[in-house]
Structure 1
Amino acid sequence: MTPVKAKKAWELRLYVAGKTAKSVTALTNLQRYCEEHLKGQYVIEVIDLLEKPQLAEGDQIFAIPTLVRKVPEPIRKIIGDLSNEEKVLVGLNIRPA
């Protein structure tokens, strides 16, 4: 019998520019929130725009760091180091406003 894989219901992209303090803080905060509220249901893709600047255009990235929720739709964006947990959870629609 084949084990059933949990569906990844949340696809998140974090756009950063190198390993700056803000970028590291944003990723750490995001991982903590996801483990607390979306355990086993998320994928985080980190995109370093110093390595792949052409990827900024697709999601219309104008500031760094920026978190983009690709799935579930609609797409949502949050700019900054993601230190305000309530703002992030409401912004991603994990918690109602």
Structure 2
Amino acid sequence: MSKSSEKAAKEKGYKWELRLYIAGNTPKSITALNNLKKYCEEYMKDEYKIEVIDLLVHPQLAAGDQILAVPTLVRKVPVPIRKIIGDLSNEEKVLVGLNIRPLKN
């Protein structure tokens, strides 16, 4: 992601831009999205944006982020880009993988 894209995200108030690649409404895809939403609300509050891309509808979009398996979560902002493959059920793995630090209360 370019610095201008990161700057645009910050101007919109998003510290985190996440893209979840799925392939239809499979149980694994639904679990991944629900887990992602839960982590975002718990650790990022209103500072995130989730974009869900269904590769059954838009298969050409897989090449842009080099998606080889689904579901795959891609952290676009903040840079560097990070990826996690799977249903995101292991909270610790997701937080470490995305380099998310819990918000202070």
TM-score (norm 1): 0.91
CA distance in 2, matches of 1:68, 1:37: 17
- The letter of the residue matching 2:90 is N
| Structure 2: segments with no counterpart, 5+ residues | 1-10
Q: Is the 8 A contact 1:69 1:76 kept in 2?
A: yes
Q: Is the 8 A contact 2:43 2:101 kept in 1?
A: no
CA RMSD of aligned residues (A): 1.5
- Flag the structure with higher helix content: 2
Q: Is the 8 A contact 2:75 2:98 kept in 1?
A: yes
CA distance in 2, matches of 1:89, 1:80: 14
| Structure 2 counterpart of 1:61 | 67
Percentage of pairs with the same residue: 75
List structure 1 runs of 4+ shifted beyond 6 angstroms: none
Alpha-carbon distance, 1:95 to partner: 3.1
- The letter of the residue matching 1:22 is K
Identify the match of residue 39 of structure 1 among 36, 45, 68: 45
TM-score (norm 2): 0.85
Identify the match of residue 36 of structure 2 among 18, 30, 33: 30
DSSP 3-state at the match of 1:58: coil
| Structure 1: segments with no counterpart, 5+ residues | none
- The letter of the residue matching 2:78 is P
Residue 29 (structure 2) pairs with residue 12 (structure 1): no
CA distance in 1, matches of 2:12, 2:60: 32
